[in-house]
Amino acid sequence: MNIKGYLNKKAALVDKNLDKFLPSSKTYPKVIHEAMRYSVFSGGKRVRPILAIEAAGACGGKLSDVMHTACALELIHTYSIIHDDLPAMDDDDYRRGKPTLHKKFDEAIAILAGDALLSLSFNLIAGGKHISRQNRIIREVSKAIGTFGMIGGQVMDIAKEKKDGFILKYIHATKTASLLAVSARSGAIAAGAGKKDEDNLANFGKYLGLSFQIIDDILDKEDYYTLFGKKRSLTDARILVKKAEDSLKPFGKKADTLKEIAMFLLAREK
């Protein structure tokens, strides 16, 4: 399989649905809808929605079972990076080669656009096909992005205290891996999978996220790389990749695409 082409095709499908779900930039008040669309369509691999789609597929689910949730996960990811880039957080002026939202518009609009994307994400999840499954997804996602997940990780990331190994691993687990884990779990729930399959796919997402972040740090020569060195970082990343692969064993060939996606993402050079 040409995995890069496959991912591009899936990303285009996600984009088509995001375009349908997001308010038009011509809809009043225009500025907030323009801002939301600017950030959502500023590039990105659509890893989280694709992970949800492929997890659902591995459990025998249909695309229509998971698309609302998949797009919602991308909106949540976008909201998180809008807020990450703010002057009070990471204070970044560029994201994916383009001005960050608070630079393109202003800080107030960036905050409101992030809030609006988060609100819309839960509206989308609730609008999925199976109400009982969607309720479970809402519970899992809200937990994964709250103070015991993504927000908790961001709190520790911006804290002034020195990052030791425990804190750094906590940040990786909550800020990065939690959303990938819940993306895979949500796909399984949307497909009506059993708890064991849910847990295995969530573990795959978690270990993928942890290894992904370590490789990011190696490429950027920061955080994990700085604290543990290149050799230890590479060893830890390989261990996590093996755990991710092992989590998919119960699915057999149905998880082959997930494995290929993982290997493609982890083999990147930037």
Question: For 201-220, how does the pLDDT look when each residue is reduced to its tens digit (9 = 90+)?
Answer: 999 999 999 999 999 999 98
Name the band, by pLDDT with cuts 50, 70 and 90, for residue 160.
confident
Residue 23: pLDDT over 80: yes
Strand pairing class (94-95; 98-99)? antiparallel
Alpha-helical (H) ranges within the chain are: 3-21, 30-40, 47-58, 63-84, 101-104, 107-126, 131-144, 150-158, 165-171, 178-190, 195-220, 224-247, 256-266
Name the CA dihedral angle for 253, 215, 117, 75, rounded to a multiple of 10 degrees.
Answer: -20
* Region 66-85 average pLDDT: 98
DSSP letter, residue 79? H
Beta-carbon count within 10 A of 134 CB: 22
pTM: 0.95
Domains of the chain, first to last = 3-265 (1.10.600.10)
Q: What is the pLDDT of residue 222?
A: 87
Work out the number of other CB atoms within 10 angstroms of the CB of residue 35: 24
**Euclidean distance between CA atoms 215 and 238, whole angstroms:** 10
